[in-house]
Structure 1
């Protein structure tokens, strides 16, 4: 009996680890213009391809306590200046019974835009995007942080 219990525990722990160690979304960071002029405002575009059965929460304010909103953190340097905040493009907005309030999220594909003003030639945009994914079945949630770098000419 104890061997069966040990086997079940080992199987559960391995499955839980495998779920949390495999990313459930692929992130791509680009800009809408490869060679911007000094003083020009460009879009830093973040796209996520989300695995089936998972959802990613938007950058919009969420209920509290509730899911964590997607945020971007750029390393500051004198070659650019942020313009406004990270914008979620067309998220699903729904009253969620689990979180007990309105949440906004994406299924399958997410898109975010951060406006950036270019101050110097050859600007470097380096940072991280921090986001939360949850399953649509049992509500298991995982927080991720992906680094990126975009070099402009």
Structure 2
């Protein structure tokens, strides 16, 4: 009888520890903020070799959050959005990433004029297709700040865009 009670007590302790670790893990997950949801689209569903396409990155921002544009005119300030594309022989990046519809305003926190987006952000990149079915890979890094809560977050993510070519 005593061994059954000892086993039940051990099982209860194990379950208490499992529950505690689960609670801590779920609380840690809840603390991760991601106020910017990224997606992309390609200007053409199918493209021929030697044609160009526009890759359009769209970002939906949670209410109250700003995303800083990739083109800034300061040395010290919030981190501009940066795009890096993997170099591959199947495509060529043409020009630079263009922000679409960024606002400009003097920021008293950083003491500089910043280009930023609120609500949503759009960036466009021209790509020339040099070979069949390229996969365009890269990374974007960015900073978002909440204008009333004073929170700023640096984030990054990888992207992979498959382009279908036609003969």
Please classify the TM superposition score into its range, dividing by the shorter chain length.
0.7 to 0.9
How many residues in Structure 1 have an aligned counterpart in Structure 2?
137
CA positional deviation for 1:64: 2.4
What's the TM-score, normalizing by structure 1? 0.84
Cα distance in 1, alignment partners of residues 98 and 150 from structure 2: 25
CA positional deviation for 1:78: 0.6
Which structure carries more helix by proportion? 2
CA contact (8 A) 1:94 1:103 kept: yes
Larger Rg: 2
Cα distance in 1, alignment partners of residues 123 and 69 from structure 2: 8
Cα distance in 2, alignment partners of residues 45 and 108 from structure 1: 16
Gaps of 5+ in 1: 1-13
- Could you say what the CA RMSD is over the residues aligned between the two structures, in angstroms? 1.6
Cα distance in 2, alignment partners of residues 85 and 143 from structure 1: 22
What's the TM-score, normalizing by structure 2? 0.77
CA contact (8 A) 1:62 1:69 kept: no
Residue 89 of structure 2 is matched in structure 1 by 78
CA positional deviation for 1:140: 1.9
CA positional deviation for 1:138: 3.7
CA contact (8 A) 1:62 1:68 kept: no
Residue 8 of structure 1 is matched in structure 2 by none
Cα distance in 2, alignment partners of residues 150 and 81 from structure 1: 14
Cα distance in 1, alignment partners of residues 111 and 142 from structure 2: 20
Of 36, 46, 49, the residue aligned with 2:60 is: 49
CA contact (8 A) 1:80 1:120 kept: yes
Deviations 1:80-125 (A, max 9, x none): 1011111100101111111112100000100000111110110111
Relative to 1, partners in 2 of residues 1:138 and 1:63: Cα closer, same or farther, differing over 3 Å? farther
Residue 133 of structure 2 is matched in structure 1 by 122
Secondary structure in structure 1 of the residue aligned to 2:46 = coil
